[in-house]
A and B are shown apart, each in its own frame.
Chain A
Amino acid sequence: MGLESALGEGYLTTKLDALVGWARKNSLWPMPMGLSCCAIELMSAGDPRHDISRFGMEVMRFSPRQSDVMIVAGTVTYKMAHVVRKIYDQMAEPRWVIAMGACASSGGMFRSYSVVQGIDQFMPVDVFTAGCPPRPENLFHALIELQKKVQSQSVLDYRDKKEAIIVS
């Protein structure tokens, strides 16, 4: 086909956005921001039965500087919000955020003075995940939706202010 046949074997043509997006989406390293019971489901997502490594995401990095996607798994209090934000700020761009479960998405059952009613009040969120806590399958649903989003984003403008995805 066209240019590729002229170049000979070992070459293919594509868009840079498509290639980088493909590489990024298949090697998303999560920052496990486990704050309560959702973290238990996040752990079981890594077990052999569910096997998060099918998505290239098994490399949980406990250093924010080495991770791409922050999975906020659990109840975020006002006091903890500053810590979550500080860790998020330390992550290198491009970076994404999954709000895992009802608490991180909306405060969940903790409708009280001490719990932030949704982490989107103090940081950008790419995917909201329903469930209390969500099953590992639902977390994977969120990860697959995030992969689609990562694939569709441009290298030059990765955070193009698209609407957050809601997964249920």
Chain B
Amino acid sequence: MNKVLQQTVDALHEQYGDVVEQVYEFRDDVIVEIGRDAIVDVCRWLRDNEHCPFPLCEDVFGIDAWTRKNRFEVNYHFFSITCKQRIHLKVRVEEQDPVIPTITGIYPAADWYERETYDMYGITFSGHPDLRRAYMPEDFEYFPLRKDYPLMGIPGALPLPKRG
């Protein structure tokens, strides 16, 4: 981990020590796992801190880990334009309660990313201004990127016009 990111992570530990669950590195990417209720505060701090601000929300996406505990995880990628650093946040949620507070209040760019994540995994983002499906038809009843959704889909779930 380089100096700048190390300082950011240290400051995060200092500020939000009780919600930072884990910090690890994978191929030079720093991943910070945090509790879901703190995501908005941590994002606001990341965006606004003076040392190394992360004003750019590059991506938000879900993963279906297909585990009994903490089945779904949502990843956030932030980029610091001034420091040229990238940091990743990770939030895990249970299958029975896949709800995460939205970060659209801090990063408006996350709006459609969260819609996509909702569309594909059924993870809802509480407080989101317009949480509609992003890709699938609005009356579609499933979440296609969940591991228990068959690859070829469920017959009849997506209607076709009559051949006629």
- The chain A residues found within 8 Å of chain B, CB to CB, are 78-79, 81-82, 85-86, 111-114, 116, 120-124
How far, in angstroms, from A124 to B162 measured CA to CA in the complex? 11
B98 at the interface (CB under 8 A from A): no
> Min CB distance, B54 to chain A, in Å?
33
> Could you say which residues of chain A place their CB within 8 Å of the CB of B144?
113-114
B149 at the interface (CB under 8 A from A): yes
How far, in angstroms, from A114 to B144 measured CA to CA in the complex? 9
How far, in angstroms, from A86 to B159 measured CA to CA in the complex? 14
B150 at the interface (CB under 8 A from A): yes
How far, in angstroms, from A13 to B27 measured CA to CA in the complex? 80
The 6 closest A-B pairs by CB, nearest first: A113-B153, A78-B158, A85-B161, A122-B160, A122-B161, A113-B144
Contact yes or no, B150 A122, CB < 8 A: no
Pick from B152, B159, B161, B163: contact of A113, CB below 8 A: B152
Closest to A112 in B: B151
> Could you say which residues of chain A place their CB within 8 Å of the CB of B149?
113
Contact yes or no, A78 B152, CB < 8 A: no
Can you list 18 A-B pairs with a CB-CB distance of less than 8 A?
A78-B159, A79-B137, A79-B158, A82-B161, A86-B161, A111-B152, A113-B144, A113-B149, A113-B150, A113-B153, A113-B157, A113-B158, A114-B158, A116-B160, A121-B160, A121-B163, A122-B162, A124-B163
> Min CB distance, B131 to chain A, in Å?
19
Contact yes or no, B153 A114, CB < 8 A: yes
Closest to B142 in A: A113
> Min CB distance, A103 to chain B, in Å?
16
> Min CB distance, B147 to chain A, in Å?
13
How far, in angstroms, from A123 to B163 measured CA to CA in the complex? 5
> Could you say which residues of chain A place their CB within 8 Å of the CB of B153?
112-114
> Min CB distance, B138 to chain A, in Å?
10
How far, in angstroms, from A114 to B137 measured CA to CA in the complex? 11
> Min CB distance, A83 to chain B, in Å?
10
> Could you say which residues of chain B place their CB within 8 Å of the CB of A116?
160
